[in-house]
Amino acid sequence: MNNLIASPSGLLELLTALPSTPDNTVPPILFLHGAYCSASCYKAFLPLFASRGIAAYALSLRGHGASWKASWFTIMFLTTLDQFRDDVECAIAHIKERHTRMPVLVGHSFGGGVLQYLLCSKAVRVPGLVLIAAAPLTGGGKDIMANWQRVEAPGGYPWPWSPRSQLDTVEQVRNAFFSPECPGEVIEAWLRESKTQYESARAGLSVLWPFGTAQGVLSALDGLPETGRKVLCISGERDLLVTTKIVRANADAYRAADNGENVITEAPISTSGHHLMLDIARDECASVIINWLKGLAV
């Protein structure tokens, strides 16, 4: 179900999948997309959670999907990480009002950076955090930008002014975000339904450099009911952008800050590229998150 929720600046798209038989032991869950994406990238993902009794939501940040849009100049140069953070807070409030409990937060790529920044910078407490191929707390700017160029232009850019956003064809998108085996229709659907034309350069630059601390994030997490689990870090071993090495370093930072509580879980998925919620390992990725939420082995 596609809803529009109110925020101080405009309407925000919130996709919803509610279970017919809720599992009241598990909190609701809120998914956040990455750069150049929207909530639609979770369209096939949400029902997998609802079918297991979990209320699932996916937000489109301002300027993405069916959420309100500003001018090109405002999107590119005036939209800040703080504003994206405020959009997430509106979605959290909407979910808490309907379920009387705070959701677990799940962020992919840049969206994972937004969520980590939110938990470090605002007085928000949630049960847990799932990071899917997420921007690390250190920003990882140099490594991620080098990885992006390697994917987009393996031989280097012909000229300094050559385009830096070559994501227009199925093969270009496959090479950047998906495994070679991913069906073309999945990628075509991403191009048609999820891809966002413009992205905030200002907000994007904010997560290329350190933007939070592991201790700051952990202090905002109450832990899942019964297990106390706090952070799940998922990587795709075929991800060429946010590599398993980058995800592992971020997980290690959380482990170093958890005071020996053993509340950090790391889960590499061998067959997937960067867009784990859409690639051929989609069901495996969902199962990892569901098992983590339900206190099962990951």
Distances (CA, A) of 94 to 14, 66, 68, 117, 252: 10, 17, 17, 20, 33
Instruction: Specify the length of the chain in residues.
Output: 298
Over 80: is that where the pLDDT of 56 sits? yes
Domains and CATH numbers, the chain: 2-293 (3.40.50.1820)
48 neighbors 288 (Cβ within 8 angstroms): no
Count CB atoms within 10 A of the CB of residue 298. 16
> pLDDT per residue over 73-108, tens digit each?
999 999 999 999 999 999 999 999 999 999 999 999
pLDDT tier at 162 (50, 70, 90 boundaries)? low
Taking only Cα atoms into account, the Rg of the chain, rounded to an integer number of angstroms, comes to 18
pLDDT tier at 141 (50, 70, 90 boundaries)? confident
Over 90: is that where the pLDDT of 186 sits? yes
Could you give the 3-state DSSP secondary structure of residue 184? Answer: helix
131 neighbors 247 (Cβ within 8 angstroms): yes
Q: Give the per-residue pLDDT at 159.
A: 65
Distances (CA, A) of 181 to 106, 178, 185, 279: 25, 8, 12, 9
- If residue 250 lies in a helix (H) or strand (E), which one and from where to where? helix 244-257
Mean pLDDT within 274-297: 98
